[in-house]
Amino acid sequence: MREVVAGAVISNGLLLLAQRSYPPEVAGLWELPGGKVEEGETRARALERELAEELGVDVVAGEQIGVGVPLKADLVLVALLATVVGGNPEPTEHTAVRWVGAGALRQMAADGELVPADAVWLEDLAELLT
């Protein structure tokens, strides 16, 4: 079983979302940024590495939020809280980034603009933002 870790980065009461550029099924949809945990890496370290690579930010990963979401037979998606300790997110692999509050997040979910797996965390995320 491999893990993908995603960051619930919250700053000033807003959540960071990143717009996927690939694959075609999810291109244009918004996600909590992250990536695959490599062999020998903790979830927290993997998230810190992925956000540095993809967005040029230094974050400190915290506790898990929500449930693990199965992606395929051998892959599970896990979300960790994360705090920015340096830099401003600038997308290198994503199309764009944005910061949203609970209302905008709910609207995006209702409009089908979130990556399906991430939409499972809607209530967990909305609670953190209110």
The residues of the shown chain that bind ligand 523, judged by CB under 6 A, are: 4, 6, 31-36, 71, 77, 115, 117-118
- Give residue for tokens 């965390």: 121
Minimum CB separation of residue 89 from ligand 523 in Å reads 14
CB of 130 to ligand 523, least distance (A): 21
Closest residue to ligand 523, based on beta-carbon distance: 35
Tokens encoding 63: 């506790």
Please, what's the b/e burial string for 15-52 (b: 16 or more CB within 10 A of its CB; e: otherwise)?
A: bbbbbbeeeeebeebbbbbbbebeeeeebbebbbbbbe
Beta carbon nearer to ligand 523, 25 or 110:
25
Tell me whether residue 32 or residue 109 sits nearer to ligand 523 (CB atom). Answer: 32
Query: How would you class 13 by CB atoms within 10 Å of its CB: exposed for 0-12, middle for 13-18, buried for 19 or more?
Result: exposed
Q: State which residue, 14 or 75, has the beta carbon closest to ligand 523.
A: 75
Instruction: For ligand 523, give the closer residue by CB, 71 or 129.
Output: 71
